[in-house]
Every structure is written in C-alpha cells, then in structure tokens.
Structure 1
Amino acid sequence: MDFLIIFKEGSFIDNNFKPSNKANIADLEIYLRQIEDAYLQLSNDFYSNEKFDIGNLNKISVSDFQNEIDNLLVLLPSYINFLSENSTFETLISLLSIPGFRQRVKAFETAKEKINAYSIIEKQRGTLYVGKCVNDLFGMRIILDNLNENAKEILNFLKNSGIKSIKRPYERNDGAYHAIHFYIRDNNHHFPWEVQLWDTTCFASNVAAHEEHVKYRE
C-alpha cells in the first residue's frame, strides 16, 4: 500500500494580517456562493473515484471508521493531499479575493489525533459518528465588521439563504472565543468544510483563544 506525502498544516493565524482587512456583511451571500462553488467542484473531482465513497459518515461510528485501515491510510490522507495539491488552483485561489479570508488544510497527523481522541470519548459515552470529528479537514475564516450586533440576523440568513450546502450554523461562545460556525456540505457521504465568521472586534481575543487551544492540544 502506497503512503502519500502529507503537506504541513497551514494556520489561520497570519502575523501580517490586519483586522482592518475585513469583509462586508452585505456581500456575505456572494462570498458563501463562491465557497460553495469551490466545494462542489472539488468534491465532484475527488469523489469521481468511487473507492472514496465509504457511505454515510453520520452513520459510521468513530471506532468502525478507525478499524478500517484503508480509511486511515488511504481515504483520509488522499483527501488531505487532494486539498493541499489544489490549494493553488483557480478554484481556491478565487476565494483569496474575499477580504479577511483565511484558509487551512488540517495535517494528517492532527486529523488522526482528533479521531483517536473521539474514539476514547466514544468508549466512555457511547457511539459517536465519524462525521462529527472529520468536519474541519478544510477550514475557512472570514473577518466581518458588526458581526456580533447582527449575529441573530446572520444566523437567520444562513438558515434561510437558499444556499443548500450550508449546514448547522450556530453561534459559538467559548470563554474569550466568539464566532459563528457552520459547514459546507452537499451530502453525508462527503467530508464537509468548516467556515468561521469572526467579528473584527473579537480578532485579538479569538487569536489568543486559538493559540491557547493549540498549546493545550500539544
């Protein structure tokens, strides 16, 4: 069995980024349709190889996913490599025109560690489905002005925008971290992408919270 070269995980954090480089809420639908177009195109390309369709990820337990060696040594690294190799293609490059936009591909080792952690939790609490822990292999972040004061309206928009691939929008408030998270996904057989919306005023505190989380994980 061939092993694939795994690209180093990128980071959302850019020391040269300035919070003044931010997106406009009024243009949010345009940005999300760009992201959806990129997701659908790349998903269609990747899953054209039928061996990568292993079934409904929301019905496969973490332990079952983990016990199937091809999932860990072929499917997961193949998808991560595919995203890394396509990060310079026009489909994803076009997203960089979105103000305040950042993207990263999760490293294989980090993804595997997360699956292992969920496996331990599953043994303690009962069945967990793998779709819940492989939901951020590709992540995106958009910095917006006035996000906090318009959070309810934005959540309502995300739920009713007509962009069918938007899944599970929710407001996340975790200590100093404040953001809106949701996923882009066309069906439960495919890996989703995670999108985070940050308010400009929360940039510094969210960065600090993110760095603390990474330090704790290590």
Structure 2
Amino acid sequence: MHLVLNLALTSARSRRQRHRHRELLSLLSSPLPDAPSTRIIDHPAPAAYCLPGARSVTVLSEGMIELLSAEQLEAVIAHERAHLKQKHHLLLDAFRSWKRALPWFPIATRAQDAVALLVEMLADDYARRIVGDSVLAEAIELVDGTSTSGAALGAPKDRRTPEQRRTDISARVERLTSPPRSVPPAARLVVAIVAAALVIVPPVLVLTS
C-alpha cells in the first residue's frame, strides 16, 4: 500500500510540474517552423528534452540548433520523440516513486539509475533507425563535449555525478559504434531453460507441498 500511494503521489506531482513547465514554455519559447509541437528556447547551452502529456512537446535550445548539423539535429529530435512515443515517463515515475518510498534501500537507487540509462538506449534505438548509428553517436558526443549540456532554462536537472554521466554516455556511444557480439547458441539455450524454470518451478512446488 505504501508503494502504491507513493506511485500515485509521484505521478500527480510529475503531472503538475509538467503542466507548469508547459505554461512557462508558451511564454518563453517559439514553435519550430512547420513543427508546432517542437519549441525553441533562446539559450546558448545545448539542450533537448520532451514534455509528455495531452499536448506533448519536444524542446530544443538555440545552442543545440547551432551546435549540430541538420542530420544530427534530426537524430536528437527523433530520440526525444521516442521518449514520448514509448511513454518512458511512466516507467521513470514508477522507479522514482520506488526510490522515494524506500530511500534507505540501495537497490532502489541503482534500479532507478539503470532504468534511466535503459530508456535512453531505447530512444537511441528508435533514432538510429532513422538517421543511422554514426550520426547519432556523433550528436551524443558533440553535445556531451560542451560540458554545458542540459543547462538551458527549463531543462531537467541532471542529478548524476560527472563520472556517472561519462560512464552512461560511453555506454550509449559504444552500442552505436561497436558491432554487437553474438550470443553462442549454447548460452541462449541455458538462458531459456533457466527462465522457464523460474516461471514453472515455483507454482509446481506450491501445488505439491
């Protein structure tokens, strides 16, 4: 019950924050020509993020537009729209509420960090199908190399340490630039057997006890 209540409170708080943020954006940003769901804020630091909701928007800073080529900018926009399309905010809210409910539980923090990286990789996978791996990897490294990424007005605060941020960026870029290693058939078979056992064995033990 405690976890469910925290999830409800976290979701309500997130909706209120997004609503206030959207109202602020309507005053301090302008729509991208021919793309009214993409807003531009006048700030020199490169930033890109999205606001989910009934009127979801993708937000770019002038610094981001000036830094990237047209193709790289397309990669960033595709990445942010993947977050909206796949509703990653719901997953992040769930793990954020878990951490708030159990702040003393170290696995809650590690789980939130791992899921945050996972949704970035999922958005990368969507964008790479549109612009290609190398273009997306170049855009990620260019933005990260400015050391001011996300510092634009209204951009979500990055609560990671510089070391955590660098590790996450490296993991994302490596996925895009290094060919994937195939899993041997024997290893896949072992994983399938273990997964099946985890599903089948507990009910069998309960029924036979």
Please give the TM-score of this superposition, normalised by the length of structure 2: 0.31
| Structure with greater strand percent | 1
> Greater relative contact order (Cα 8 A, min sep 6): structure 1 or 2?
1
Please give the TM-score of this superposition, normalised by the length of structure 1: 0.30
